[in-house]
Each structure stands twice: as structure tokens, then as C-alpha cells.
Amino acid sequence: MGCLLRRLIPFLMGTAVGAYVAQNYKVPNLRSLADRGLQDARRYEEAYRRKQPSAAADAGAGTSSRKKTVLLDIDDDEE
């Protein structure tokens, strides 16, 4: 019972303080702040995105930019 009260009292106090602050002070709307930040991030990403090389330029270069995949089989059997 004591453990429950130790966790419940701070939660209730935080709720009460939060309600008081929201009613008596100008608290910014976090949803609109997050949406604006997301829009700014998208705009920044589109402005500074790396340009994709064309297929004709890759074929003429003679080198492949593909990664090499190596398969490794480890046998742990002790014989």
C-alpha cells in the first residue's frame, strides 16, 4: 500500500500543477509546434537531398557501385 501511495502522490501533484499552469499561463500548443518542426525538416531534407545519378552515367563509368555480399558458413560441430 505504501508503494502505491509513493507513486500516486507525485502523479496527482503533477496533474494538478499541470492543470493550473495550463489554465493560468499561455502554454504553447505542442501539436502545432511538432507539425511545424516536421514541415521544416521535410523542407530542409528536400532542399539538401543528394541527387540520384542517372542509369546512363552509371553504365558508362565502368565501375559498379553495388555492394558485394559475402556468405560465410561457420561449422561449430566438434568431431
Return left, alpha or beta for 62; rule: phi > 0 is left, psi -120 to 50 is alpha, else beta.
left
Model pTM?
A: 0.40
Q: Does residue 32 contact residue 38 with C-beta atoms inside 8 Å? A: no
- pLDDT computed for residue 9 by the predictor: 93
pLDDT given for residue 56 in this prediction:
54
At residue 5, the 3 state secondary structure works out as helix
pLDDT of residue 52: 76
Q: How far apart are CA 37 and CA 43, in angstroms?
A: 10
Which pLDDT does position 2 carry in this prediction? Answer: 73
Tens digit of pLDDT at every position of the chain (79 positions): 778 888 899 999 999 999 999 999 998 888 999 999 999 999 999 898 887 776 555 555 555 567 888 887 777 776 5
